[in-house]
Amino acid sequence: MTDVVAAVLEHARARPGRLAGGRLVCVDGPAGSGKTTLATALAEAVPGAVVLHMDDMYDGWSGLNGDTGARLHDQVVVPLAAGETGHYRRYDWVLGAFAERHDVPPSPLLVLEGVGSGDRALAPYRSTLVWVSAPDDLRLERGLARDRALYAREGEPWDEAGHRALWAGFMVDEARFFAAHGLPGTADLRVDGTRTIG
């Protein structure tokens, strides 16, 4: 376990578990900054932990500032706070539509990772909000590499220029989201996504 993972878990354990005793750790920050790496390491350190990726929740490239936060609040977090199973429909980025339903069972730790996980509506339920950051050029290259790999796995054609344009638009959307939700100012902990965090 790295020092970063230990620090996040120590912070979360010192706060009340607001999901029927379970704790919600939100890992937010700009796309490609290293949030998924940290979230995976957190889940590996806590038996029974569940990771939920915001990428599975957005309604496509322009979904961040839509109803994503409200759906997450109503369908996942509120049921978990009542000790019930939450659910969501996964967005399929290749098909461009919502796909199968996933259940989110109560757990000792729910790690919600991705741009938008710091939504103000979730503040009453979360134990810890972590902000992960990295330089824009590094984030873009990480994001494009991840998307290229996804398209290769699915056997879909890759459009480099088109995806760079999509990423540029998403970076504008995420900046707007962060401003509207007081990020990174409301974060409990800040992490440098260029260092080893998982």
DSSP string, 3-72: HHHHHHHHHHHTS--TBTTBEEEEEE-STTSSHHHHHHHHHHHSTT-EEEEGGGTSSSTT-TTTTHHHHI
In three-state secondary structure terms, 166 is helix
Residue with tokens 């992960």: 132
What CATH number is associated with residue 110? 3.40.50.300
Residue 142 in any domain: the answer is yes
Residue 197 in any domain: the answer is no
Residue 141 in any domain: the answer is yes
Average pLDDT over residues 63-87: 95
Residue 61 in any domain: the answer is yes
| pLDDT exceeds 70 at position 53 | yes
Strand partners, 133: 192
pLDDT digits over 109-164, tens only? 999 999 999 999 999 999 999 999 999 999 999 999 998 998 899 898 999 999 99
Write down the mean pLDDT value for the chain: 94
| pLDDT exceeds 80 at position 198 | no
At residue 54, the pLDDT reads 97
pTM for the model stands at 0.93
Q: The domain containing residue 145 runs over which residues?
A: 3-192
Number of structural domains the chain divides into? 1
Residue 84 in any domain: the answer is yes
| pLDDT bucket at 65, cuts 50 / 70 / 90 | confident
Residue 198 in any domain: the answer is no
Residue 93 in any domain: the answer is yes
Residue 108 in any domain: the answer is yes
